[in-house]
Structure 1
Amino acid sequence: MQDVIIIGAGPCGLSAAIECNRRGLSTHIIEKHHIVRSIYLYPTYMQFFSTAELLEIGDIPFATPNDKPFRHEALSYYRKVASHYQLNITSYEEAFSIERHDNGLFTVHTRDRSGQELCHEARQVVIATGYFDHPNYIGIPGEDLPKVTHYFREAHPYTGTKVTVIGGSNSAVDAAMELIRVGAEVTMVYRGETISDNIKPWVRPIFEGLIQKGNIHLHLNAKVTEIRMDSVVVTTNDGQESIIDNDFVLALTGFHPDRQLLASSGVLLDGDMEKPIFNPETMESSVPGLYVAGVIASGSNANEVFIESGRWHGRLIAEHIRPLSS
């Protein structure tokens, strides 16, 4: 019997375990992939928008020679934090249901890589799952073709090809700029009047320069309405269609948290956003003893919570379960 089972080994789940351990609570982190899976799925050469200090957990300094850390530095940092605190982590085991008993205790039902079903008992449960396994699909013909991906890792495989990037966020802009460097012909399609206002300030002028030179073909107020084997159909907001030759499509339309585990556990969800109902001072959900941490607390709007803010959720949870002064 553990005091706390934490589902998800991202930065927010790791932070929650550290804060609980500091208060003398036993913890077990259950992760269906490996630690910080979401960061692993970031583009290979991605640089964070935040400074290293804003990504720190457990009072462990994040040392980097860069103003903004890169993906590989973050992977190394969180591995070291988990090792430093000797966190009890079970990887490649998926929690598929949470059962709360009349006595207030919980049983977490899981399935390991071999398909064997297991049960884990705990006094409290924290759901700290991420969102990168669940891309936002557009729902257009051809989106399921092999040429389409919702994940961009690096540009090399697209050398010399025609690539359409759907989206106008940092991920879309970064991908377009990397693709240009390897000689891809890049078309960007975005439904807004301008690209996102949140584009990294040191990236925006370079990106705009590439557009002015004609290196990136940008279609604003438009959307891809069909994906074909050798082309895409782009439709403007006023209904005009154009067919663009195409080899690959990067549909960088964002991701959303999976709320199935929350809902099946009895957690109430609020409105169309399906945001879990919880106490923001303690992160406790509508189910007593069941907490949320990290991006899962944002419902379908994954941009509402980042590592910078979600890393503090664990401290609120741990303090509610067992105050540090007690």
Structure 2
Amino acid sequence: MAAILKLNYTSVSEFLLVGFSTFPHLQLMFFLLFLLMYLFTLLGNLLIMATIWREPSLHTPMYLFLCALSISEVLYTFAIIPRMLADLLSTDRSISFKACASQMFFSFTPGFTHSFLLTVMGYDRYVAICHLLRYNVLMSPRGCACLVAWSWAGGSVVGLVVTSAIFQLTFCGSNEIHHFVCHVESLLKLACGENISILAVGVGLVCISALLVCCLLILLSYAFIVAAILRIPSAEGRHKAFSTCASHLTVVVVHYGFSSVIYLKPKGPQFLEGDALMGITYTVLTPFLSPVIFSLRNKELKNAMKKAFLSRLFPSNI
């Protein structure tokens, strides 16, 4: 019987990204909106990286981590958004098996690296506020480089584990992915064979565990930070200490708030059409907001941008 079933399987060599095809009259509007957001995301992150590179005063651990965070966001969006934009203007939304696997790996790796870097940045703020006198020792250039390297290594491991687990499966029958990206949950619905539910649970545990550990470590860092800030006698001192964490904390809330959409959204076939719209929150909106938050909430970075770039363009106004 198993042999007969196996013969009846139609092996899938490519997938069809349904994406926003269920909203045909809105695709041009989506294209223009997402293109503008993507260009702004690229420009914002490139501006942050260039400012940190050019300004010696920003050659500190906090801004090294911010530069690494911007790199991860650029790579993450590059793995997803250009393909999504092309599909919005195309009638051929097919993607090959290998291209789908590559997209998953090159989006998961910087995506989880982003979470690890946010955790490292939380630790950096903890050391800066709670162990200021030992900051230069604990956050030495070599130590910071190692933390960034370990973040990328961790992201690569998660990306490799998830991608390998998903694409060892046999896909049969329908090849329609109800998303604009090679989405794990959508691919699991197309898989056939035994132990798929066990593998789905395993993949979910890997992803949730990585995000949960990062989130708990950030919360622990901020618990110590808040305790230290409350011990500062002056209101001005407390405000100054908290202001150094405000942009990072805001990005953490946005990142984990939108990421939770993946795991807390309603299940079931009746919600398939909403998958693409909900996916926009963590693939387009979060990367779009991140450089805005860091640029507007970080006074030192904002002043450095004015000094490095705007003063050259508008010397009389800066």
Higher relative contact order, chain-length normalized (CA < 8 Å, sep 6+): 2
Give TM-score scaled by structure 1 length: 0.34
More helix per residue: 2
Give TM-score scaled by structure 2 length: 0.34
